[in-house]
Amino acid sequence: MDKKKRIRLLSLNLGIAAANIITFSPGLIGLELGGASALATAFGSTVIFLSVAGLIYGNYKLLAEPEKAAPINKMISVQDYIRGLNEHREIKTFERSIGLLLDQIERLQKKNRTIRDILLQNFSDSEIAYRKFDAVISEVERIFFINIRSILNKLNAFDEDEYIFIRKKHETGGFSEQLMEEKFKVYDEYIKFVDAAIEDNEQILLKLDKLLLEISGLNCIESGEMEQMAGMIEIDNLIKQAKYYKN
């Protein structure tokens, strides 16, 4: 739960508690249930009912409210990226792409868990060989999510209302053909970029598949053999090619 939501929950509950203290404290309003006045009793009962209802409904609404995604440059966890993608689901142009990206994240996590589980059958997690392999897998994950971060930046910049507007204008006329071509070219670049980044991530998943196939067929993996595996060589080349990526 993020800090702002915790503050809102605390403020709501303290506010309701303070209202009841003021209402029923003898030194303040001093309202009593079952007192001499039927009106006062009815008013007190209403206050209690509203307090309970506000407490239940207010807490439910705040707890059920989906958490906002972290700013893109602050995203550090898988859940940050999933929330970021889900917040862009209303962009119909990229609805299918976002669904595929979420599926890719799920498949990446599953493959990496399986790879690590197989490695732990041959090494303990404290051995240098395992830690070296784990570091390589972590680097692949980093490259994968850098691609998703780039996609999120493009989704933030993409103005679907404008895109729909120029498509309608292209059908009905109103602007020169040259201008319309230039406008479409800009928006096509967004779409091509997202498609290319998704393709890159699918290549990463393919390389992990090859590695998984390779290590799952071995009864024993010697420490020095890992670097010579075809799957590891492909992944190592991927990391070297992606050295220009930044955190």
For position 190, what pLDDT does the model report? 94
**pLDDT at residue 51 greater than cutoff 90:** no
Mutual orientation of helices 160-172 and 177-216 as an angle, nearest 10°?
A: 130
How many Cβ atoms from other residues are within 10 Å of residue 152's Cβ?
22
Q: Is residue 146 exposed (0-12), middle (13-18) or buried (19+ Cβ within 10 Å)? A: middle
Report whether 166 contacts 183 (CB < 8 A).
yes
**pLDDT at residue 125 greater than cutoff 80:** yes
**pLDDT at residue 219 greater than cutoff 50:** yes
Q: What is the dihedral of CA 14, 18, 24, 29, to 10 degrees?
A: -170
Mean pLDDT value across residues 150-175: 86
**pLDDT at residue 122 greater than cutoff 80:** no
At 145, is the pLDDT very low, low, confident or very high (cuts 50, 70, 90)?
A: very high
At 69, is the pLDDT very low, low, confident or very high (cuts 50, 70, 90)?
A: low
For position 233, what pLDDT does the model report? 79
Of residues 169 and 24, which shows the higher confidence score? 169
For position 99, what pLDDT does the model report? 95
Residue 165: helix, strand or coil by DSSP?
Answer: helix
For position 246, what pLDDT does the model report? 46
Could you report the per-residue pLDDT of 169-212, keeping only the tens digit for each? 777 767 788 888 888 899 999 999 999 999 999 999 999 998 88
C-beta pairs of 115-120 under 8 Å, 24+ apart in sequence? 115/208, 115/211, 115/212, 115/215, 118/212, 118/215, 118/216, 119/215, 119/221
For position 32, what pLDDT does the model report? 61
Tell me the two tokens of residue 84. 């970021």
- In the predicted model, what is the mean pLDDT of the chain? 79
First to last CA, the chain: 25
Per domain, the residue ranges of the chain are: 3-64, 72-241
**pLDDT at residue 80 greater than cutoff 70:** yes
Tell me the two tokens of residue 191. 């779409």
For position 197, what pLDDT does the model report? 95
Q: Estimate to the nearest angstrom the gap between the alpha carbon of 207 and the chain centroid.
A: 24
For position 97, what pLDDT does the model report? 96
- Which range has the top average pLDDT, 66-75, 181-190, 210-219? 181-190
For position 20, what pLDDT does the model report? 65
Could you report the per-residue pLDDT of 222-246, keeping only the tens digit for each? 656 666 677 777 887 877 776 555 4
pTM greater than the 0.95 cutoff: no
For position 247, what pLDDT does the model report? 43
Q: In this structure, which amino acid lies at residue 106?
A: E
